[in-house]
Amino acid sequence: MRAWAEGDPPSDYAVVWKPSQRFLDSQPALRAMFNAGAGVDALACLRLPKNVPVIRLEDAGMAEQMCEYVLHAVLHHYREFDIYAAQEAKRLWAPRPPRRKADYPVGILGYGVLGQAVAKSPISVGFQVVAWARTPRADAPIRVYSGDDSRVEFLQAVRILVCLLPLTPSTRHVLNATAFEALRRGGYLINVARGAHLDRDALLAALDSGQLAGATLDVFDQEPIPAADPIWKDTRIRVTPHISAATLRHEAVEQIVGKLRALERGEAVTGVVATDRGY
């Protein structure tokens, strides 16, 4: 195994993260390509080698991190910790009336490897959780709405919305004015998928109108966010630098090596990306 350098002989397998077209064009003998992350949207604009399976990471230690991040964001909003932090800064002792979890149903856009794991943590502390996927899930332990026809019905059932979709042509700007309008008033957005899922102007308009109470954003169109971006100072939006679920070296290598060995034995592996649907 080696780090690729221009002029190297062709490899049998490649591990990539946002590879260059130059690298892909230099690989006529690949048997498979492993993507060192869960999302493969960075590959969409590239000419991929024909008939070479692209295999993405499945969980590999990301699900636990995502659960921590999302549960923290849900509880931070629900228990009004932002308001208590502001009160603390003013030395103000002012308990607020308790909220009811029944008034804060959580909805997860995307019920894949990460969405299914993340759904469990709010349930464990008493929230109602529903999800939305492309295909029906009759066997799921929670209600899963499926397909574009049921998206509005799903959103109407939700106050705290978590985005865990892959970025594809059909999910770009899925977090838009129509979606925010459908949520229960005073909704809350947690975007841990990709920046391009969000129509930022629609978010700001929904915050201004009170339709949304706030947002926690981990992903952005432009990363890092420029220092002059007003989002840094918007107290309604909590910003983190794309850290909700990092690729963990040990777990990722273990998963890739396991799948590589299976392929060498002629066995099928999971996590093969359907490049036509984009995830």
The residues carrying an active-site annotation are 194, 242
C-beta of 133 vs 212, nearer to ligand NAP: 133
Task: Name residues contacting ligand NAP, limited to 70-109 (CB under 6 A).
Answer: none
Of 27 and 114, CB closest to ligand NAP: 114
- Residue 122 near ligand NAP by CB under 6 A: no
Q: Which is nearer to ligand NAP, 27 or 203 (CB)?
A: 203
Rounded to whole angstroms, the Cα distance separating 193 from 255 reads 22
The structure tokens 């892909």 sit at 24
Tell which one of 32, 73, 158, 193 touches ligand NAP (CB under 6 A): 193
Indicate which single residue of 16, 30, 39, 198 sits in contact with ligand NAP (rule: CB under 6 A): 39
CB 31: neighbour CB atoms within 10 A? 14
Q: Is 180 in the site for ligand NAP (CB under 6 A)?
A: no
Residue with tokens 């990092």: 246
164 binds ligand NAP (CB under 6 A): yes
**54 touches ligand NAP (CB under 6 A):** no
Count the neighbouring beta carbons within 10 Å of the beta carbon of residue 243: 11
Q: Is 179 in the site for ligand NAP (CB under 6 A)?
A: no
Cβ pair 203, 180 in contact under 8 A: yes
- Residue with Cβ nearer ligand NAP (114 or 203): 114
Query: Per CB under 6 A, does 135 bind ligand NAP?
Result: yes
Query: How many residues contact ligand NAP, by CB under 6 A?
Result: 29
Show the binding pattern over residues 239-258: x = contacts ligand NAP (CB under 6 A), - = does not. ---x-xx-------------
Positions in the binding site for ligand NAP (CB under 6 A): 38-39, 62, 110-115, 132-135, 164-168, 170-171, 192-194, 218-219, 242, 244-245, 279
